[in-house]
Structure 1
Amino acid sequence: MLAGKTVLLIIGGGIAAYKSLDLIRRLKERGAVVRVVMTAAAQHFVTPLAAGALAHGRVFTELFDRDAEQDIGHIRLAREADLILIAPATADLMAKMAHGLADDLASAVLLATDRPVLVAPAMNPFMWAHAATRRNVARLREDGIAFIGPNVGEMAERGEAGPGRMAEPTEIAEAAARRLAPVEPGPLAGRHVLVTSGPTHEPIDPVRYIANRSSGKQGHAIAAAAARAGARVTLVCGPVNLPDPAGVTVRPVETARQMLAAVEAALPADAAIFAAAVADWRAAREAGEKMKKDGGAIPALALTENPDILATIAHDPARRPRLVVGFAAETENVVGYAQAKRARKGCDWIVANDVSPRSGIVGGVMGGDENQVHLITETGVEHWPTASKSDVAERLVARIAAALGPLE
């Protein structure tokens, strides 16, 4: 239950804001002290007077409130709560959270808090399904934000229905209680999990390099999921434009040789997931100065093979983790090539995906927010449905935890 807990309820500006009044009652029934922040848009749907009457306290609405901000009121709100609950959470408010904006009281509180956050989205189905919203939700999940809903149902717009309806107040109150329940040790507690992510950049000269299209999103999602499962996680990461996952030790590298060295330094580990897209080749000789195009002959680019990080670790009996998982990005014969790769590399599992334009993934797998993978093990092939990269990571980490079993 919520007895003795302080819940800071942020009411966003959507028609579902009317449900927030009942939500206050449901939270108080469970023993919570409820403090309320309302956005400017929310006040078009319900009044601070109504919310304050039910919460038995002042409703906070302004970032630059002369009285509240004398002692940095938004910081107090952010730190004095046991849980921050956003209901309804609009597409706009979630976008602000995902991008770290803080231009009003609600978003400033959310950026300043170190407390658990629970989000109850509510919006039109087309807004919920929009690629931008899906990206923001994936980012928030990776940041450790929990969600309740949205549910499927009728919308305020005449004749429209689908996912986007805010969860019912009783559902949200129960989810809040679960969020504050004592934390049980995760299935990977006490384990060390090593993850590689992103591309490598292999220099040709001080300006140019050989690389690939990997964004690092899947590898980062796996590292974040493993950390949430209780593992101590080391993430060896090539050049990406992603924030570091919460609770993860990150070792940034540039080249394949640097990645191998960082992986070897991070061992021993209970499990290693090699999700990085390592360049197969590098320039045999890196030019010390920028190679100039002077109208003469095109310079020959001699290549040499990079170290095979997956095979190196998988075939090393002294340092090999108990479970070694590789990735295979293919454009044809996905399962067949991945099965051959698993045998050749000596790893336990291969996660294979189709990165061709034919994959059917909106925005493409490499750089996109969704994935559709095949898990290839010694015993067979599992074909997983298309899902967000965060969901793929959660499912893979659950399988890893089951394979490792309880810590002895």
Structure 2
Amino acid sequence: MFQNKRVLIAIGGGIAAYKICEVVSTLFKIGVEIKVILTNSAQKFITPLTLATLSRHPAYTDENFWQSTHFRPLHIDLGEWADLIVIAPLTANTLAKLAYGMADNLLTNTVLASTCPVLLAPAMNTDMWEQQVVQRNWEQLLTDNRFHGMCTGSGLLACDRVGAGRMAEPPEIITYVQSLLHTTGKRDLLGKRVLISAGGTREYLDPVRFIGNPSTGKMGLALAQAALHRGASVTLVHAPASWDVPLGVQAIPVVSADQMRASMVEYLPSADIIVMSAAVADVKPREYSQHKLPKKSLPQALPLEPVPDIVGELARLKQSHQQLIGFAAQTGDIVTPALEKLHSKNLDAIIANPIDEPDSGFGSDHNRAIFLDQQGQRIEIPPCSKLEMAHRIFDFLENK
């Protein structure tokens, strides 16, 4: 997916610069060609030699600004070379320059000499980040569709302040880079509200025992990331999971099918696209014990009752302008039961994916599937990462 993709990483002066080593190393390992620019301030925190070693290319500084390559200015060559520019950490100083179109170093000149998407990962002290002038510059810069801004995190900063301004972590930056390389920066979901369910619900018999399934929610997480990176406002209703919800996504944690149903119905009216990727339990114990049952007291035959049909209820409640997409995780023949669910539940589309194939299904970082819709489309999605599958799903929906 990333062969022949070219990313230029521009590093500003801040302690978060050390985190970019992981970004450069990981992107190189997945096949992305990387070049790096460091500002003079960035070199106080990390050396060009380190980045050159990780990227397998020279790391450029302002000393190279007037260096010509094939008799062309370096900033022109770099700007035309890049499929994507990542500026991380983005300092208040560089932000102000970009907001006003200033170009007084290699980084800012290269941005002005390019036309590709630019991903911004700001990092600064909380008081600096919250200054009215900084927020004004940030909002002004993001009015240009070239620029994609990452939310800052909150926590203990290097200045010992606890608050907003922490740079997004390397895995989040890497995922956003992958998304932008797929979409080439388009925001086809801008102004849309996307509601996603994720993970496997748990139906408890007592405080320690439950009926569940192996779903980790990774597919729902990837859908949330993809929708966010394409400009959507995203609400993620998720069962217990071991991953962190991406910055910028509204998270609604739930446990049981009843709780998931209540949240999905609550947020349904404001959604434009609803993706039901959660693995909801089919049944639950008829009775719940407030205290752990002794092993000898466990029933030989466990009385069960069905849980709510969430996707069926959403289909009955949805409006004509809304799109409802379901998932069907199956073994063996995945198409026949998926088509039956598509029509019986009156879904707009369904994703049939095998859980008995290598490196796909529950718990895997990869998946494969067949996209089916009410118009009779049948599109196979070959083995790929779950993030790529999420983007392919939104690609299909865009073309419907």
Q: Would the alpha carbon gap of residues 228 and 312 (structure 1) be closer, same or farther in structure 2, given more than 3 Å must change? A: same
Matches within 5 A, 1:332-371: 332-356=332-356, 359-361=357-359, 364-371=360-367
Q: Residue 368 of structure 2 contacts residue 381 of structure 2 at CA under 8 Å; is this kept in 1?
A: yes
- In structure 1, distance between residues paired with 2:338 and 2:51: 55
2:392 matched to which residue of 1?
395
Are residue 276 (structure 1) and residue 278 (structure 2) matched? Answer: yes
Deviation at 1:297, TM superposition (A): 7.5
Deviation at 1:54, TM superposition (A): 2.9
Q: Residue 370 of structure 2 contacts residue 379 of structure 2 at CA under 8 Å; is this kept in 1?
A: yes
- In structure 2, distance between residues paired with 1:231 and 1:238: 22
Deviation at 1:226, TM superposition (A): 1.2
Are residue 54 (structure 1) and residue 108 (structure 2) matched? Answer: no
Can you list the C-alpha shifts for 1:189-240, whole angstroms capped at 9, x where unaligned?
A: 2222111111111111011111111111111111121122222211111111
1:60 matched to which residue of 2?
none
Are residue 287 (structure 1) and residue 289 (structure 2) matched? Answer: yes
For 2:354, give the aligned amino acid. Answer: D
The percent identity for this pair of structures is: 29
Are residue 325 (structure 1) and residue 325 (structure 2) matched? Answer: yes
- In structure 2, distance between residues paired with 1:297 and 1:267: 39
Q: Residue 257 of structure 2 contacts residue 280 of structure 2 at CA under 8 Å; is this kept in 1?
A: yes
1:248 matched to which residue of 2?
249
2:217 matched to which residue of 1?
216
For 2:287, give the aligned amino acid. Answer: R
- In structure 2, distance between residues paired with 1:354 and 1:81: 47
Q: Would the alpha carbon gap of residues 40 and 371 (structure 1) be closer, same or farther in structure 2, given more than 3 Å must change? A: same
1:71 matched to which residue of 2?
none
- In structure 2, distance between residues paired with 1:50 and 1:233: 38
Q: Residue 49 of structure 2 contacts residue 59 of structure 2 at CA under 8 Å; is this kept in 1?
A: no
For 2:241, give the aligned amino acid. Answer: V
1:113 matched to which residue of 2?
167
Deviation at 1:316, TM superposition (A): 2.8
The DSSP-based 3-state class of the residue aligned with 2:261 is helix
The DSSP-based 3-state class of the residue aligned with 1:291 is coil
1:42 matched to which residue of 2?
50
Q: Would the alpha carbon gap of residues 40 and 290 (structure 1) be closer, same or farther in structure 2, given more than 3 Å must change? A: farther
Q: Would the alpha carbon gap of residues 322 and 40 (structure 1) be closer, same or farther in structure 2, given more than 3 Å must change? A: closer
For 2:362, give the aligned amino acid. Answer: M
Q: Residue 21 of structure 1 contacts residue 50 of structure 1 at CA under 8 Å; is this kept in 2?
A: no
Q: Residue 218 of structure 2 contacts residue 386 of structure 2 at CA under 8 Å; is this kept in 1?
A: yes
Deviation at 1:389, TM superposition (A): 0.5
Q: Would the alpha carbon gap of residues 8 and 306 (structure 1) be closer, same or farther in structure 2, given more than 3 Å must change? A: same
Q: Residue 78 of structure 1 contacts residue 112 of structure 1 at CA under 8 Å; is this kept in 2?
A: no
Can you list the C-alpha shifts for 1:314-341, whole angstroms capped at 9, x where unaligned?
A: 1235x57621100000011111111111
Q: Would the alpha carbon gap of residues 366 and 21 (structure 1) be closer, same or farther in structure 2, given more than 3 Å must change? A: closer
The DSSP-based 3-state class of the residue aligned with 1:188 is coil
The DSSP-based 3-state class of the residue aligned with 1:385 is strand
- In structure 2, distance between residues paired with 1:385 and 1:43: 34
1:127 matched to which residue of 2?
none
Deviation at 1:34, TM superposition (A): 6.1
Deviation at 1:290, TM superposition (A): 0.8
For 2:219, give the aligned amino acid. Answer: Q
- In structure 1, distance between residues paired with 2:63 and 2:34: 10
Deviation at 1:248, TM superposition (A): 1.4
Deviation at 1:387, TM superposition (A): 0.7
When normalised by structure 2's length, the TM-score is 0.61
Q: Residue 225 of structure 1 contacts residue 394 of structure 1 at CA under 8 Å; is this kept in 2?
A: yes
- In structure 2, distance between residues paired with 1:260 and 1:43: 48
Are residue 375 (structure 1) and residue 378 (structure 2) matched? Answer: no
Deviation at 1:148, TM superposition (A): 9.4
Runs (4 or more) in structure 1 with deviation over 4 Å come to: 9-14, 20-24, 43-46, 48-52, 75-79, 82-85, 146-149
- In structure 2, distance between residues paired with 1:21 and 1:393: 25
Deviation at 1:313, TM superposition (A): 0.9
Q: Would the alpha carbon gap of residues 400 and 297 (structure 1) be closer, same or farther in structure 2, given more than 3 Å must change? A: closer
For 1:372, give the aligned amino acid. Answer: R
Deviation at 1:50, TM superposition (A): 9.0
How many residue pairs match? The answer is 288
Are residue 8 (structure 1) and residue 17 (structure 2) matched? Answer: no
For 1:326, give the aligned amino acid. Answer: G
The DSSP-based 3-state class of the residue aligned with 2:391 is helix
Q: Would the alpha carbon gap of residues 292 and 78 (structure 1) be closer, same or farther in structure 2, given more than 3 Å must change? A: farther
Can you list the C-alpha shifts for 1:82-109, whole angstroms capped at 9, x where unaligned?
A: 4999xxxxxxxxxxxxxx9x9x9xxxxx
The DSSP-based 3-state class of the residue aligned with 1:203 is strand
Q: Residue 227 of structure 2 contacts residue 234 of structure 2 at CA under 8 Å; is this kept in 1?
A: yes
For 1:328, give the aligned amino acid. Answer: A
For 1:336, give the aligned amino acid. Answer: T
- In structure 1, distance between residues paired with 2:273 and 2:89: 41
Q: Residue 40 of structure 2 contacts residue 62 of structure 2 at CA under 8 Å; is this kept in 1?
A: no
